[in-house]
Amino acid sequence: MWVRLAQFLFRLGAFSVVFAFVLIAAAPLLERLMIYPLDDTRVSPADANLPAVTEEVAHHDGQELIVWTAPPAPGKPVIFYLHGNAGNLANRASRFDLLLQRGYGLVAPAYRGYSGSTGTPQEAAIVHDTVAIYDSIVHPLQAPVVIYGESIGAAVTLGALEAGITPDAILLEAPYTSLKAMAAHHYPGNGGFTKHLSNQWDSLSRAEAVILPLLILHGTEDALIPIDMGRQIFAAAPTNQKEFVEAPGAGHTGLWRTDTWPKLTRFINQFALR
């Protein structure tokens, strides 16, 4: 009996080792599927019922990046909109329309692999692309700039700020503290896997350098990114011009509502009107 038990334990241990190696080897693919569920559907602004928006193609690092743009009305800011990891630019058309109705300008790039942009998304590449688009498209507009980061776009925002872009104000929607913290929240006991993530998106550490006006919007019932993560980002930012807006009863989406939208526009107008 003891011999059979020893054989069983040996086989179990061998299986565990093999499984661990397989998991590590598959980590890049699993990581991409979880973090970047790509939607490469390319839809023109006109087909998204946004005739005032132009599609541009930015060239950076050998890639072609789709960017939707619209100039601001005189004295109004440009919203540099960094989207979430799901869907494509056309899925944000209703939001873009609301911004345009206020006279705000728009620059909305699509990350690598999204909305017709070429390449494969990865943290460093996305940050570098974002900075390049800011320098080549946003800055030449010579208008106040508010950067809006939606979900993973909040992480991109903080990464781009760390890399040196200088908007007038920052809006973060449903930010998370880091991918490691997200993995620990959704998949407890995964420590071995998170060590092999090439994307870290450590927003909590990056928030510690935020000195610009900041507004964070988060749903109280967000099951994907807990509101506590948004509160941690808020607490970490040393700026003394910051506001935390809760959307009562809201989950991860549907946060632009009649009780939150006026607060967003008030913040934008306070810090980015001329």
How many Cα atoms occupy the beta-carbon half-sphere of 251 within 13 Å? 3
User: What torsion do the CA atoms of 177, 180, 183, 184 make, to the nearest 10 degrees?
Assistant: -90
Residue 69 parent element (H or E)? strand 63-70
Cα–Cα distances (Å) from 156 to 8, 64, 89, 179, in that order, read 48, 19, 16, 12
Q: What is the mean pLDDT of the chain?
A: 89
The pTM of the full predicted model, rounded to 2 decimals, is 0.88
The model's confidence at residue 21, banded by pLDDT at 50, 70 and 90, is very low
pLDDT band at 31 (very low <50, low <70, confident <90, very high): low
pLDDT tens digit sequence for 204-229 = 999 999 999 999 999 999 999 999 99
Residue 15's pLDDT band (boundaries 50, 70, 90)? very low
DSSP assignment letter at 32: H
pLDDT of 198 reads 77
∠ CA 63-67-69 to the nearest 5 degrees?
A: 155
pLDDT at 184: 86
H helices present in 39-197, as ranges: 93-101, 123-133, 152-162, 179-186, 191-194
pLDDT in tens, 136-186: 999 999 999 999 999 999 999 999 999 999 999 999 999 999 988 998 888
CA-CA distance, 200 to 124, in Å (whole number)? 10
Among residues 130, 110, 96, 120, the alpha carbon closest in space to that of 41 is found at 110
